[in-house]
Amino acid sequence: MTEARPDLPTDDRPWVYLASQSPRRRQLLEQWGVTAVPLLPDADEDPEALECVQPGEAPLVYVRRVTRLKLRAAEARRQRRGWPAGLVLCADTTVADGGDILGKPADAADAACMLQRLSGRRHQVLTAVAVARGRREWLAVNRSTVTFKPLTAEDIAAYIATGEPFGKAGAYGIQGRAGLWARRITGSYTGIMGLPAYETAELLRRAGLSLR
């Protein structure tokens, strides 16, 4: 079945194809005056397969590689559907505890294990953002640091019960209840959310999108 052609802005508003299911990324783009047109995977695609960590892979190498794979898959999807040409944007966020990559938790026990590791310690959040215009690609990475307060078993259990940890790297979202644990943040708050404002704006400008 052919995917219906998207409704694109008919005025001069800036817009991009957003290859992400994250409502936070769409909301951030809209706040910045950019209309996000969803470019989501087809039913027969397995986007999670792109996020598999290779043996011994460093967090920075991982987040750059995965973001490029997602970007190229999205551009191929646009072409396959016959949608009009336009900028394609995607991003990927990973949490790093030292050299270890903390991805999306598989279940509650996995989420608890990750949050216990982060309790009372500093960790890095790396978000790569990439933009494509046809065969041309631009990519940037934001690195931010978050320090959590010490967490009790009750803190962790109550947070997991909210459902917030699932589908999020490191088992938490800074924009939710876990933001109450952040004693210190160095870097980009929007980068920790999943789409760094400065880097995204710079890439869009380089790709020819005029931001007001």
CATH of the domain at 64: 3.90.950.10
Does residue 4 belong to any structural domain of this protein? no
- Total domain count, the chain: 1
Tokens 């065969």 belong to which residue? 135
Catalytic annotation on 92?
yes
10-residue stretch averages of pLDDT, the chain, 212 residues long: 73 91 93 95 87 94 97 96 96 96 96 98 98 96 98 98 96 96 97 97 93 75
Does residue 98 belong to any structural domain of this protein? yes
Give residue 43's pLDDT: 86
Backbone angles phi, psi at 190, to 5 degrees: -70, -30
Tokens 């394609």 belong to which residue? 88
Active-site hit among 11, 44, 92, 100: 92
Contact (CB, 8 A) for 89 and 19: yes
* Chain centroid offset of residue 45 CA: 18
- Nearest C-alpha neighbor of 204 from the set 82, 11, 70, 36: 36
What is the spatial distance between Cα 101 and Cα 211, in angstroms, rounded to a whole number? 34
Give residue 12's pLDDT: 82
Does residue 37 belong to any structural domain of this protein? yes
Does residue 161 belong to any structural domain of this protein? yes
Does residue 10 belong to any structural domain of this protein? no
Domain range enclosing 108: 15-206
Beta-sheet pairing, 35-38 with 15-18: parallel
Does residue 5 belong to any structural domain of this protein? no
Does residue 8 belong to any structural domain of this protein? no
pLDDT tens profile 43-99: 888 888 899 999 999 999 999 999 999 999 999 999 999 999 999 999 999 999 999
Does residue 1 belong to any structural domain of this protein? no
> CB atoms < 10 A from the CB of 132, how many?
24
pTM of the prediction?
Answer: 0.92
